[in-house]
Amino acid sequence: MSTQTKSIISWVVTFIVMLIITTPGLWVILSGFRPLQEILAKPAIWIPQRLTLDNFRAIFGIGETQIAIPVLAYFRNSIIIATTSTAIAIIVGISGGYAFARYRFKFKDTLFLGLMLSRTVPGIALSLPVFIVWARLGWIDTQFGLILVYVALNVPFTIWLIDGFFRQIPKELAEAAEVDGCTRWQAFWKIEFPLAKSGIASAGIFAFLTSWNEFALASNLTRSTNSKTLPVGLTDFIAQFTTDWAGMCAMAFIIITPALILTFIVQKHLIAGLTFGGVKG
Amino acid sequence: MSVLTNIKRKMFSEQATPYVLLLPAVIMILIVVLFPLIFSLYTSFTGYKLTRPDTLFKIVGFRNYVRIFSDWDFWVAFFRTVGFLAVVINLEFLLGLGIALLINKVTWGQRTMRTIMMFPMMFSPILVGFQFKFIFNDNVGILNNALQALGITDAAIPWLVDGWLAMGAIAFAEIWMSTSIFAILLLAGLFAMPKDPLEAAQVDGCNAWQTFRHITLPFLMPFAYIAMTIRSLDVARAYDVVDTMTGGGPAGRTELLWTLIARTGYDSANMGMANAMAYVSIILSIAFTYYFFSKLVAARRYMGGAQ
Amino acid sequence: MTEVSLQQVVKRYGQLEVVHAIDLEIRHSEFVVLVGPSGCGKSTTLRMIAGLEEISDGKIVIGDRVVNKLPPRDRNISMVFQNYALYPHMTVRDNLGFGLKIAKHSDSEINKRVEEAAEILGLGMLMDRLPAELSGGQRQRVAMGRAIVRNPDVFLFDEPLSNLDAKLRVQMRTEIKKLHKRVNNTIIYVTHDQVEAMTLADRIVIMRDGHIEQVGTPLEVFDHPVNTFVASFIGSPPMNQLDGKVIAGEGGENQIALADNITIPVPNRAKAHVQVGQYVIVGIRPDDLTPKNHGMKDSGETVSFDLTVSISEPLGTETILFSQIGTKEVQGKMLNPRPIEGDERLNFNLSLDRVHVFDASTGQNVLGPHHG
């Protein structure tokens, strides 16, 4: 086979792979902008005849066709829960990651292993006892209850990533700063923290995506507009016998957009985070 | 007062610092994971039913475990889960490796393609489930529409209704969602690969396949194991996908351990039993993670020698 | 006036003791070099002086203060690290001024002192670059600049030249010496390179396994090594060490019998310190073992014997000659080089008054720890 045929083949294969990766999501998003009749049409209408914002109007309760799904409240809950839990997980993660990267202490390996293992507990398995305990404490269907769970869910991974990043920074830098007149605290904030920023950012994105997208726990710990998040809200569209495809597609668009925007802004950090934390950690 | 200053001094002494720094993390894990798990371990020895709170104190010993271990449905779900994970993770690795090698070869648009690859990673598993429920829908799904339009089939193929097809559809969704992690990490590995060993191998007379098999692949394995470790932390996300696509149906033929737990715990309100199953699933998850993590540690060790 | 004093200083990691109760007095504006093989405790000692390691036992005094419990920032020291430890996210200017900024000096003051330091080290053109954009030698200069900007009582150097290539190392060595002449502060300098130690130090502290083996000026440790370890560590090529036994010679003059039936008289200064029958190690520097008519010191008491030269390494002004006595390889030196064709038998002169005698069982110089 000549080099040219080879390269043509690899181009074609690459193109098909990219198509498989992008088509399903794009098709769903596109459908969010199509009227329901067109989606359901038989035989299928391939080229959209008409693009419309009706589906969005409907789920936000604007215009004639209204759907009794409080998407706005879900959206607000999702934002509050995801950002708050991410912020806390990052603070806890910096603190813990720093401890693992910089100190030697008894039970270090055991503690690290314990934290990581806590992350392996499947959400649905964890949801059962948390559900019972939260119910007793009155935390079911509260934003607080879900935030707490998401912080715990994210802490092991943020610690793992941030630990890896702090380890990249030579210990001598903080020592030099201390000799230069810094307290340990100053040395951390002026030298080590700025250098670990990109790692912390990537840990933050992962934490945010996890909280934003989580379903197994949220679906069992939330009940109403008090705390229901977007992924849980998506299932509202599935009524007993019918599925509102158009509405769901519009909702999917709403869920994916913030995650997409955020990820594209910091994608460099994401890849660095994934590789760094792991290989050298 | 002196006690307080004493505590303060102890807190800021060098030996105590790491423990103080780790305290928030440990407290979080204690409240949200460890205490509930201890509690659920207890309930797995009771006949606890959500509908009857007094049953929380009805100790039944190992009855729940005996029951699930002698339950045919449980074993089917268990082995289906293990088989599903084995197939899916291996396929993700192979596909991810293929994609990484492909993109590494392609000289133009690498960055764009890497960005595109991150696309599925941002999707909520529930969204992935919904998306493929939509695509595989026998009536309005794009797949059947396409097959019919191309004249490959006249009848609607019941993708999510037939047991085997549904399992395949779920596996497809799962692979679509997670192959990127492998591809991205393996691509990063290829970028980080030193050129010297490759050239040394060529000088030593290796052909392309031998070079790949003996030099490239061993170098990439730590990256693959990171991906697998990250992936195994999240294996139970498949619950979201299955729950939306088929809900474990039809007639339990796509039931995985996790959907079975949810059904037993929430729908049948049989918490004691569900918690017993949950423990089996936790051990399964830990086993997967431990396996990949130990591989990662071993692979890292020999990688250290090459640099 | 800033003296540094270490009194019975001990460093333990758990059960493991790595520095064993060392004593050391360093005078004001003295340049002291701690030297020894890796793992000898020299860096740990320096880091204890800096306050980066806790002191397990004993006392460290800087000036008139016991600093045991003081954090690094309160010790008025500065340090140059082996890997420079430049702050990667700051420009050269900010790196230099960081310490002053932390100490809350005024901007104009900071500027003035940073410019001064930059001037001394020739960093003028590089002020707005980041460390990543500098060469190894430039980074080294910035690290030194950062140390002098704060005008501390004591400078600590932790193997500062070990990451430079050989040529640059020699150049920076000279610059450090110049710098010391100029600022005249107390300097404590750690290295594993004995050449660096010899060329820089007012006094050398030779360490091994957490003990101080010898303290002295470069010439003292060279001319009077207290034991075989110091003898082999200082000097290049290293001192030849040959096993010997003291025997009674003719006319009451004791002799030392080496292998291959070579005997040499006991050197004058060692005569009173050895007995017949004692096993000794004879230390001979290659400089003092030269073929007849080719040495630099043919004067003084000499003894001569024949050796077969198997390999020679011409270095230009001199040639290193490799031979054997018994099973031990010995090196000699030849000035006025001439070609040597393998296995040539030459008559060598040995400058007897420069021969060192160590007790074979203890390894100590028979003259004792005090030089005469």
Mutate to test the interface with C, among A180, A186, A193 (most CBs of C within 10 A): A180
**Which residues have C-beta within 8 Å of that of residue A131, sequence separation ≥ 6?**
A140, A220, A221
Using alpha carbons, select from B254, B237, B235 the residue that is nearest to residue B77.
B254
Using alpha carbons, select from B143, B295, B161 the residue that is nearest to residue B228.
B295
Residues C164 and C61 in one domain: yes
Answer whether the bond into residue C238 is a cis peptide, omega within 30°: no
Long-range CB contacts for residues C253-256, cutoff 8 Å, separation at least 24: C256/C280, C256/C282, C256/C357
Query: Do B21 and B35 contact (CB within 8 A), yes or no?
Result: no
The pLDDT value recorded for residue C143 is: 92
The pLDDT value recorded for residue A272 is: 65
Domain of residue C40, CATH code: 3.40.50.300
Q: How far is A183 from chain C (nearest CA, A)?
A: 7
Using CB atoms and an 8 Å cut-off, which of residues 104-133 of chain A contact chain B?
Answer: 105, 108, 111, 114-126, 128-130, 132-133
The pLDDT value recorded for residue B305 is: 39
All residues of chain C having their beta carbon less than 8 Å from the beta carbon of residue A190 are 98, 102
The pLDDT value recorded for residue C299 is: 62
Please report the DSSP string for C128-176 in residue order. TS-GGGS-HHHHHHHHHHHHHHT--SEEEEESTTTTS-HHHHHHHHHHH
Residues C188 and C285 in one domain: no
d(CA C48, CA C42): 10
Does A83 have pLDDT greater than 50? yes
The pLDDT value recorded for residue C234 is: 92
The pLDDT value recorded for residue A46 is: 76
Average pLDDT of chain B to the nearest whole number: 84
Using CB atoms and an 8 Å cut-off, which of residues 4-23 of chain A contact chain B?
Answer: 7, 10-11, 13-14, 17-18, 20-22
* Identity of the residue in A18, A21, A103 whose CB atom sits nearest the CB atom of B18: A103
The pLDDT value recorded for residue A270 is: 67
Residues C303 and C193 in one domain: no
Residues C259 and C164 in one domain: no
- Mean per-residue pLDDT, B209-217: 87
Percent of all residues in chain B with a pLDDT value above 90, rounded to a whole number: 22
Residues C226 and C299 in one domain: no
Residues C146 and C243 in one domain: no
Q: Under an 8 A CB cutoff, do B122 and A278 touch?
A: no
SS3 call for C355: coil
Using alpha carbons, select from B258, B228, B264, B232 the residue that is nearest to residue B244.
B258
Q: Which residues in chain C come in under a pLDDT of 50?
A: 372
* Domains of chain B: residue spans and CATH: 71-306 (1.10.3720.10)
Does B56 have pLDDT greater than 90? no
Q: Under an 8 A CB cutoff, do A170 and C83 touch?
A: yes
Q: Under an 8 A CB cutoff, do C85 and A175 touch?
A: yes
CA torsion, ordered B85, B90, B96, B97, to nearest 10 deg: 160
Residues C126 and C216 in one domain: yes
Q: Which of C232, C257, C286 is where one domain is finished?
A: C232
Which range (A38-47, A203-212, B181-190, B249-258) has the least confidence?
A38-47
Does B296 have pLDDT greater than 90? no
Q: Under an 8 A CB cutoff, do C52 and A181 touch?
A: no
Q: How far is A63 from chain B (nearest CA, A)?
A: 26
Query: Do B84 and A2 contact (CB within 8 A), yes or no?
Result: no
Question: Which chains neighbour B (Cβ–Cβ under 8 Å, 3 or more pairs)?
Answer: A
Q: How many contacts does A have with C, using Cβ atoms within 8 A? A: 61
Q: Which of C232, C262, C294 is where one domain is finished?
A: C232
The dihedrals phi and psi of C132, each to the nearest 5 degrees, come to -65, -20
* Identity of the residue in B22, B148, B262 whose CB atom sits nearest the CB atom of A111: B22
All residues of chain A having their beta carbon less than 8 Å from the beta carbon of residue B273 are none
Mutate to test the interface with A, among B28, B225, B226, B291 (most CBs of A within 10 A): B28
Instruction: Please check whether residue C367 lies inside any domain of the structure.
Output: no
Q: How far is A191 from chain C (nearest CA, A)?
A: 7
* Domains of chain A: residue spans and CATH: 3-59 (no CATH), 71-280 (1.10.3720.10)
Element (H, E) at C20: strand C16-26
User: Looking at this predicted complex, what is its ipTM?
Assistant: 0.84
Query: Do C156 and C50 contact (CB within 8 A), yes or no?
Result: yes
Q: Under an 8 A CB cutoff, do C51 and A173 touch?
A: no
Searching chain C, which residue's CA lies closest to the CA of residue A176? C85
Q: What's the whole-model pTM score?
A: 0.82
Residues C226 and C91 in one domain: yes
- Mean per-residue pLDDT, B223-247: 85
Instruction: Please check whether residue C371 lies inside any domain of the structure.
Output: no
Q: What is the pLDDT of residues A161-188, one digit of tens each?
A: 898 888 888 889 999 999 999 998 899 9
Q: What confidence category does residue B1 fall into, taking pLDDT thresholds of 50, 70 and 90?
A: very low
Using alpha carbons, select from A94, A89, A268 the residue that is nearest to residue A165.
A94
Q: Under an 8 A CB cutoff, do A275 and B300 touch?
A: no
* Identity of the residue in A25, A98, A149 whose CB atom sits nearest the CB atom of B131: A25
Residues C51 and C143 in one domain: yes
d(CA A212, CA A217): 12
Mutate to test the interface with C, among A165, A179, A197 (most CBs of C within 10 A): A179
Residue-number span of the structural domain to which C290 is assigned: 237-359
- Mean per-residue pLDDT, B162-191: 89
Q: Is C331 left (phi over 0), alpha (psi -120 to 50) or beta?
A: beta
Q: Under an 8 A CB cutoff, do B32 and A114 touch?
A: no
**Which residues have C-beta within 8 Å of that of residue C254, sequence separation ≥ 6?**
C246, C247, C248, C265, C266, C271, C274, C276
Q: Which of C232, C260, C285 is where one domain is finished?
A: C232
The shares of helix, strand and coil residues in chain C, as percent rounded to the nearest 5, are: 30, 35, 35
Residues C227 and C256 in one domain: no
Residue written as token pair 């003996």:
B214
Domain count along chain C: 2
d(CA B126, CA B245): 9
Q: What is the pLDDT of residues A27-76, one digit of tens each?
A: 888 888 888 888 877 777 777 777 888 888 777 777 666 666 788 889 99
Query: Do B276 and B44 contact (CB within 8 A), yes or no?
Result: yes
CA torsion, ordered B117, B118, B123, B129, to nearest 10 deg: 30
Q: Residue by residue, what is the 3-state secondary structure of B71-93?
A: CHHHHHHHHHHHHHHHHHHHHHH
Question: Chain C residues within 8 A (CB-CB) of chain A?
Answer: 50-52, 71-73, 77-79, 81-83, 85, 87-89, 98-99, 102-103, 146, 150, 156
Instruction: Please check whether residue C54 lies inside any domain of the structure.
Output: yes
A145: tokens are 């209850």
Question: Which chains neighbour C (Cβ–Cβ under 8 Å, 3 or more pairs)?
Answer: A
Q: How many Cβ atoms are within 10 Å of A13's Cβ, its own excluded?
A: 14
Residues C202 and C341 in one domain: no
* Identity of the residue in C52, C82, C87 whose CB atom sits nearest the CB atom of A191: C87
All residues of chain A having their beta carbon less than 8 Å from the beta carbon of residue B300 are 279
Q: Under an 8 A CB cutoff, do A181 and C146 touch?
A: no
d(CA C68, CA C49): 9
Query: Do C149 and C103 contact (CB within 8 A), yes or no?
Result: no
Q: How far is A261 from chain C (nearest CA, A)?
A: 28
d(CA A120, CA B85): 15
Residues C259 and C193 in one domain: no
Domain of residue C300, CATH code: 2.40.50.140
All residues of chain C having their beta carbon less than 8 Å from the beta carbon of residue A173 are 85, 87-88
Alpha-carbon torsion A33, A36, A37, A40, what sign? positive
Query: Do C100 and C110 contact (CB within 8 A), yes or no?
Result: yes
Instruction: Please check whether residue C42 lies inside any domain of the structure.
Output: yes
Q: What is the pLDDT of residues A234-280, one digit of tens each?
A: 888 776 556 778 888 888 898 999 888 887 777 776 666 665 544 44
Q: How far is B249 from chain A (nearest CA, A)?
A: 15
